A and B are shown apart, each in its own frame.
Chain A
Amino acid sequence: MSRPRLQTIIFEVTQACNHACLHCYNYWNHPNWHGARLDGLTTDVRPLLAHVLDQVECTHVTLTGGEPLLREDLPEIVSFLSERGVAVNVISNGHRLTDSITVDLIQRGVSLFELPLLSYRREVHDALSGSAGAFDAVLAAIADIRYHQGQVVTVFVATRRNIADLYDTLKLAFAFGVRGVMLNRFNPGGRGAGHIDNLLPTVDEMRVALQVAETAAQEFHLPISCSIPIQPCLIDTSEYPHLGFGFCAAGSDRAYYTLDTAGNVRPCNHTPTILGNVWSEPFGDIIDATRLADFVAAVPAYCAPCARRDECQGGCKASAQVCYGDLRAEEPFLRLNRTARMEQG
């Protein structure tokens, strides 16, 4: 049997974090989550990675968390992957990315850092991050990465608290030499599920933000992509040709299966759904189409008549699952905005 070919694997090296982002999507930070947490920071995860990489054809791994820099052995994990010919991305809040750690990680093979830049204003970034000093730390980290010739993209999570700051934040990112920006609308889940009312942007706010991003992408020649789905029934994304848009990749050839330190595999990092464990069954069996069928097929009833249903899938079903307990529910951005739109006539 040939090895499954995966574009990427997301590896959550820890569930611990030194920030408390209001918009956090990690399911284990949901107010009602009572399951066990995998905070372990000392377990050697290299045997797990070797076990997985022996079973799949995959040349790219993203290390995330929680906050991956809380693991002191992160450099060794990066080296292990690099030596196996795997490209490594690191998603971090940047708070522990000191100059020396940055150099070390780049030299060991981190090809891209993904860091948050939530506002050009210190107080807004720090408030959304739930951590004083986060803004200064992330800017220093970006500057260090670029100084040492590493690559960095920043993430702007669009919420009602910061969406008006978008243009100046993109400008700041460009000034610091980032290679791209991800403009992700707030996607409730985890701790964020408790902040829907005060953080979730409206369609009108998102439309303005997309126009701002469209302008900035042209002005600064800055690649900007929106990887959290935006439903075409709410916003016509074709009006923003310089922005990239994506839909849920679960079950497709672009899927980013997510692995935790216990060996559990999930369809993506937003969902708590566990497909299987690599220590008890082959990876190929875990991601078999039959195993994924329910997850892939889950689409809200509201979307049934839509011609773009299979492409859009109603948005982020994992968000619906975490917030409302049902993969087939309308996820918050769709639910709240289509209701508002109907009320407007």
Chain B
Amino acid sequence: MNTTRREFMRQVGVTLAGLLLSGCDLGSRLTLPPTPSQEPFSTPPFSCYQSPAAPPYVDMSYELRSHPRWIALRDRWLELKDPKLKALEDTDFSRGLRQRHADALKALVDNTELDAAVADEIGVAFEQAIAHIQRQTAACCYEPLPPEYTPRQNLTTQAAVLNEVAQRSSIDVDTVDRAKAALERDIAWLSQFQAGQIPGKLESIEVTPVEAQAALTLVTLLLIK
């Protein structure tokens, strides 16, 4: 089964929450130009993690400055950094934040600045972002595991440990070979990914224009100061 669009939006939410919590100060990397850009697309001068294959960039700086409703939406996302969200369970703060985010989306939709379907997708991402942050605090057997980005160094270490374990144990040879094959695939995937290619599962992610617009809107919103 391919990654569904809802899974895609959930991963967008988790990723953005992870970036915000890791101290990636998205909002400080860009400042508004002195005049509104005349070009519909431009490349951002900075990003937290510069990629050689950066996607087209929608310049929302003019809209942001002109319409505080967009700022209100962005501020709700920045509230994800508030330590009050790291509670063992839903609190008045998390419930209030959800409501404020929903209100911000509704204001944009009501003023025809944001398509309702796109707003719905942004809501999915926000919900998952909150869940991701709360999971960092409360460990439980029965909660979904957030996606994890495995650094190359960890895979190298894993390969060494796997060799060591295989040599000094009586684990079935076929099982070890299968584990090695899985690891080699992870390494290959990461190499492709870091080279700016789109490897493996990413090819099968189903993303409609609505989801793409929702994700792009969020990324752009959080990149502009």
Residues of A at under 8 Å CB distance from B?
Answer: 7-8, 10, 60, 62, 82, 85, 87, 89, 91, 107-109, 111-112, 114, 120, 122, 136, 139-140, 142-144, 146-147, 149, 151, 153, 155, 171-172, 174-177, 179-180, 182, 184, 220-221, 223, 225-227, 244-247, 249, 252-254, 256, 311
CB distance from B132 to the nearest CB of A (A): 12
CB distance from A149 to the nearest CB of B (A): 7
The CA of A312 and the CA of B53, in the complex, are separated in Å by: 49
Q: B157 near A220 (CB under 8 angstroms)?
A: yes
Q: B141 near A175 (CB under 8 angstroms)?
A: no
The CA of A108 and the CA of B4, in the complex, are separated in Å by: 11
Tally of chain B residues near chain A (CB < 8 A): 44
Out of A143, A171, A226, A253, name the residue touching B165 (CB < 8 Å).
A171
Residues of B within 8 A of A149 (CB): 185, 200-201
Contact with A along B138-158 (1 / 0, CB 8 A): 111111110010010010011
Q: Contacts A107-B1, A179-B148, A180-B145; is A122 near B161 (CB within 8 Å)?
A: no
Central interface residue in B139, B169, B178, B185, by most chain A CB within 10 Å? B139
Out of B140, B175, B179, name the residue touching A246 (CB < 8 Å).
B140
Central interface residue in B161, B170, B201, by most chain A CB within 10 Å? B161
CB distance from B41 to the nearest CB of A (A): 33
For the complex of A and B, 4 pairs with smallest distance between CB atoms: A225-B139, A244-B139, A146-B182, A253-B90
Q: Kindly identify, within residues 93 to 149 of chain B, every residue whose CB is under 8 Å from any CB belonging to chain A.
A: 131, 134, 136-145, 148
27 A-B pairs within 8 Å (CB atoms) are namely A107-B1, A108-B1, A109-B1, A111-B144, A120-B165, A120-B169, A136-B175, A139-B171, A139-B172, A140-B172, A140-B174, A143-B175, A146-B182, A147-B181, A172-B169, A175-B161, A175-B162, A182-B141, A220-B158, A225-B139, A246-B138, A247-B88, A249-B89, A254-B88, A254-B138, A256-B140, A311-B88
Residues of A within 8 A of B210 (CB): none
B25 lies within 8 A of chain A by Cβ: no
Interface of B is mostly: helix
Central interface residue in B4, B134, B143, by most chain A CB within 10 Å? B143
B75 lies within 8 A of chain A by Cβ: no
The CA of A82 and the CA of B6, in the complex, are separated in Å by: 11
Out of A62, A146, A179, A311, name the residue touching B142 (CB < 8 Å).
A62
The CA of A122 and the CA of B175, in the complex, are separated in Å by: 14
Q: B162 near A252 (CB under 8 angstroms)?
A: no
B64 lies within 8 A of chain A by Cβ: no
Residues of B within 8 A of A7 (CB): 131, 143
Q: B141 near A114 (CB under 8 angstroms)?
A: yes
Q: B141 near A112 (CB under 8 angstroms)?
A: no
B183 lies within 8 A of chain A by Cβ: yes
Central interface residue in A136, A139, A147, A180, by most chain B CB within 10 Å? A147
Residues of B within 8 A of A87 (CB): 7, 144
Nearest chain B residue, comparing its CB with the CB of A147:
B182
Q: A89 near B179 (CB under 8 angstroms)?
A: no
Q: B175 near A139 (CB under 8 angstroms)?
A: yes
Nearest chain A residue, comparing its CB with the CB of B137:
A244
CB distance from A115 to the nearest CB of B (A): 12
The CA of A112 and the CA of B140, in the complex, are separated in Å by: 14
Q: A89 near B88 (CB under 8 angstroms)?
A: no
Residues of A within 8 A of B7 (CB): 87
Q: Contacts A60-B144, A179-B145, A249-B89; is A122 near B170 (CB within 8 Å)?
A: yes
Residues of B within 8 A of A244 (CB): 136-139
The CA of A7 and the CA of B182, in the complex, are separated in Å by: 31
Central interface residue in A142, A225, A253, by most chain B CB within 10 Å? A253
